[in-house]
Structure 1
Amino acid sequence: MFEITRRHVLAAPALLAASGATAQGFPGREIRMIIPWAAGGGTDIIGRRLQPLLAAQGLQVVVDNAPGGSSVVGMQRVAAARPDGYTIGLASTSILALMASGTIALRNEQFDNMVRISEDPMLLLVSAHSPWRDLPAYLSAFREKRGGMSIGVSGTRGTVSHIFSVVLAKALGQEYIFSGYPGGSRAIADLLGGHIDSVILKPNETMPQIREGQLRPLATFAPQRLPLLPDLPTFQDAGIDVFPYGPITQMTYLAGPAGMPSAIAARINGGFRQAVLSAEFQAFAAENGFPADGLSGAEFSKLCSDVQTAMLAVGNTLGVFNPE
Structure 2
Amino acid sequence: MYQATRRGILAAPALLAAGGALAQSFPTREVRMVIPWAAGGGTDILGRRLQPLLAARGVHLVVDNAPGGSSVVGMQRVASSRPDGYTIGLASTSILALMASGTISLRNENFDNLVRVSEDPMLLLVSGNSPWRDLEAYRAAFRDKAGAMSVGVAGTRGTVSHIFSVLMARGLGADYVFSGYPGGARAIADIMGGHIDSVILKPNETMSQIRDGSLRPLATFAPRRLAQFPDLPTFGEAGIDMFPYGPITQMTYLSGPSGMPAAVSARLGEAFRSAVLTPEFQAFAAENGFLADGLAGEDFAKLCDEVQRAMLAVGNNLGVFSAG
Band of TM-score, shorter chain: over 0.9
Cα deviation, 1:240-273, whole Å, max 9, x if unaligned, reads 2222222311111100001111111111111000
Q: For 1:58 and 1:82, how far apart are their aligned partners in 2? A: 21
1:300 CA drift (Å)? 1.2
Aligned partner of 1:206 in structure 2 is: 206
Aligned partner of 2:97 in structure 1 is: 97
1:20 CA drift (Å)? 6.5
Q: Secondary structure at the match of 2:129?
A: coil
Q: For 2:20 and 2:230, how far apart are their aligned partners in 1? A: 51
Aligned partner of 1:46 in structure 2 is: 46
Q: For 1:159 and 1:19, how far apart are their aligned partners in 2? A: 37
C-alpha contact 2:184 2:205 (8 A) present in aligned 1: yes
Q: Secondary structure at the match of 1:205?
A: helix
Aligned AA (1:137): A
Cα deviation, 1:72-124, whole Å, max 9, x if unaligned, reads 01000000000111100001111112112211010111100000011110000
Q: For 2:260 and 2:278, how far apart are their aligned partners in 1? A: 25
Aligned residues: 312
In the alignment, is residue 287 of structure 1 matched against residue 283 of structure 2?
A: no
Q: For 1:63 and 1:212, how far apart are their aligned partners in 2? A: 29
1:22 CA drift (Å)? 4.8
Aligned AA (1:135): L
Q: For 1:54 and 1:130, how far apart are their aligned partners in 2? A: 41
In the alignment, is residue 266 of structure 1 matched against residue 276 of structure 2?
A: no
Q: For 1:190 and 1:163, how far apart are their aligned partners in 2? A: 21
The aligned runs of 1:89-168 (5 Å cut-off) are 89-168=89-168
Aligned partner of 2:240 in structure 1 is: 240
Aligned AA (1:50): L
1:172 CA drift (Å)? 2.4
Aligned AA (2:42): G
Cα deviation, 1:49-81, whole Å, max 9, x if unaligned, reads 111111111110011111111110100000000
Aligned AA (1:190): D
Aligned partner of 1:197 in structure 2 is: 197
Q: For 2:21 and 2:298, how far apart are their aligned partners in 1? A: 27
Identity of aligned residues (%): 77
In the alignment, is residue 277 of structure 1 matched against residue 277 of structure 2?
A: yes
Q: For 1:29 and 1:257, how far apart are their aligned partners in 2? A: 18
Q: For 1:275 and 1:316, how far apart are their aligned partners in 2? A: 38
Q: Does the C-alpha gap of structure 1 residues 126 and 59 become closer, same or farther in structure 2, counting only changes over 3 Å?
A: same
Aligned AA (1:79): A
Q: Secondary structure at the match of 1:88?
A: strand
Q: Secondary structure at the match of 2:69?
A: coil
1:307 CA drift (Å)? 1.4
Q: Secondary structure at the match of 1:143?
A: helix
Cα deviation, 1:267-297, whole Å, max 9, x if unaligned, reads 1111000000000000111111111110111
Gaps of 5+ in 2: 1-12
Aligned AA (1:313): A
CA RMSD of aligned residues (A): 1.7
C-alpha contact 2:235 2:242 (8 A) present in aligned 1: yes
1:131 CA drift (Å)? 1.2
Q: Secondary structure at the match of 1:38?
A: coil
Q: For 1:316 and 1:92, how far apart are their aligned partners in 2? A: 21
Q: For 1:190 and 1:262, how far apart are their aligned partners in 2? A: 45
Aligned partner of 1:77 in structure 2 is: 77
C-alpha contact 2:247 2:306 (8 A) present in aligned 1: no
Q: For 2:243 and 2:306, how far apart are their aligned partners in 1? A: 16
Aligned partner of 1:229 in structure 2 is: 229
1:19 CA drift (Å)? 7.5
Q: For 1:16 and 1:284, how far apart are their aligned partners in 2? A: 37
Gaps of 5+ in 1: 1-12
Q: For 1:246 and 1:305, how far apart are their aligned partners in 2? A: 11
TM-score, reference length from structure 1:
0.93
